[in-house]
Amino acid sequence: MPAGTKDYYAMLGVERTANADEIKKAFRHKARELHPDVNGAPDAEDRFKEVNEAYDVLSDPTKRDQYDRFGAVGGRAPGGQGGGYGYSDIGDLFGGGAAGGFSMEDLFSAFFGGATGGGRGGVRLEGRDMAMQIVVTLAEAASGAEKEIVLDRLASCDVCGGSGAVAESKVVTCPECGGTGQRVSQRKTFLGTMQTVVPCERCGATGHIIENPCEECQGTGRVPDRQHVSVHVPAGIRDGQQIRLQGFGEAGIRGAAAGDLLVTVRVAEDEYLHREGDDLHGLANVGFTQAALGAKIKVNGVLEDNEVEIPAGTQHGDTIRLRGRGMPRVNRTGRGDLIVHVAITVPKKLTKKQRELTEQLAAEFGEEHSEHKTPLQKLKDWLGA
């Protein structure tokens, strides 16, 4: 058998020479052994699937023959060089399409579908959670904000107060299921009679019947609704953080608990300020004379304007940290810092006087510089005049 191929014979614990009867017996034995009522092992469900897969193949003479020869069903020999065999979808093979009128999924749900009361059989009456996204500016994130959202959802019915009934007294226990909302269904399978728990159809799995259902909500207790909701965004919130509004999700069926609304807050990038955690980084343009002589300049912050002292001799790229001028810390006191990055700007054009003074300054510093030429002089140079 090629490497990586499942050994179906080993899964069922039979010899390769086993006949159909032996295979059937082995399968029944294994299937009972792995029944979740008996077998609490966490891998029981997976092993159960494997056993079914093995049986599906070995109980079918054509598939078994193919498996014996190629080590797989559907044609492809694992590890082989492809060739003319199309590998049929595994879902076709073992899913609902299985031949013989009895699919593995049927059997599977018979075991796991709620004979033990849990899982798929239960019907959820509580409303679902809902999710939404809002965008705030950095300034709003800093100051905190009230943002109005439009919420479309199934809300509790006003007419019946969510009960689904015109009057409370009209709600009676479902005679079909005795108020459990579940009904036991018996089916005959080749493993014997299987008991399955299915949702009660009569009461919609609620356990109650409304003799006089509310017309507004047809007895469900909830109606489609549009609501304007104000969301409080706390100061200091970070991009991607979520706000949970309890009970603002979908209403529950007939008064069951409503879900929550989860609002994800996106903080938009700011044009001037870059955020890193609770700190902010900003840029301050400083003239070269200001940098040389020192100056007091204004720097925009997120909540206030700041006066920043640029010391004489400040270099391009120097940073100045303004403590407590960054973002508020959400749910805590205090604020991060504002880190001002100094960008020294050089005038692109100089007036005649500015140029003369700058040339004098250059001479004073002993710095070489290009000679200034007027357009007319440049033309004369070019003409060789």
- In the complex, the residues that contact Zn ion under the rule CB under 5 A are 157, 159-160, 174, 176-177, 200, 202-203, 214, 216-217
- Which tokens in the block code for residue 199? 């949702």
Report the residue number, 216 or 270, with the smaller CB distance to Zn ion. Answer: 216
**Residue 112 Cβ vs Zn ion, minimum distance, rounded to whole Å:** 22
**Residue 250 Cβ vs Zn ion, minimum distance, rounded to whole Å:** 15
Report the residue number, 50 or 216, with the smaller CB distance to Zn ion. Answer: 216
**Residue 126 Cβ vs Zn ion, minimum distance, rounded to whole Å:** 18
**Residue 254 Cβ vs Zn ion, minimum distance, rounded to whole Å:** 9
Report the residue number, 125 or 159, with the smaller CB distance to Zn ion. Answer: 159
CA 195 to chain centre: 37
The residues facing 32 across adjacent strands are: none
**Residue 193 Cβ vs Zn ion, minimum distance, rounded to whole Å:** 23
Report the residue number, 208 or 325, with the smaller CB distance to Zn ion. Answer: 208
Report the residue number, 29 or 120, with the smaller CB distance to Zn ion. Answer: 120
**Residue 200 Cβ vs Zn ion, minimum distance, rounded to whole Å:** 3
**Residue 245 Cβ vs Zn ion, minimum distance, rounded to whole Å:** 23
**Residue 108 Cβ vs Zn ion, minimum distance, rounded to whole Å:** 25
3-state SS of the chain is CCCCCCCHHHHHCCCCCCCHHHHHHHHHHHHHHCCCCCCCCCCHHHHHHHHHHHHHHHCCHHHHHHHHHHCCCCCCCCCCCCCCCCCCCHHHHHCCCCCCCCCHHHHHHHHHCCCCCCHHHCCCCCCCCEEEEEEECHHHHHHCEEEEEEEEEEEECCCCCCCCECCHHHEEECCCCCCCCEEEEEEEECCEEEEEEEECCCCCCCCEEECCECCCCCCCCEEEEEEEEEEEECCCCCCCCEEEECCCCCCCHHHCCCCCEEEEEEECCCCCCEEECCEEEEEEEEEHHHHHHCEEEEEECCCCEEEEEECCCCCCCCEEEECCCCCECCCCCCECCEEEEEEEECCCCCCHHHHHHHHHHHHHHCCCCCCCCCHHHHHHHHHCC
Report the residue number, 124 or 323, with the smaller CB distance to Zn ion. Answer: 124
Report the residue number, 173 or 242, with the smaller CB distance to Zn ion. Answer: 173
Report the residue number, 98 or 217, with the smaller CB distance to Zn ion. Answer: 217
Report the residue number, 175 or 311, with the smaller CB distance to Zn ion. Answer: 175
Query: To 5 degrees, how large is the angle CA 133–CA 251–CA 125?
Result: 120
**Residue 124 Cβ vs Zn ion, minimum distance, rounded to whole Å:** 16
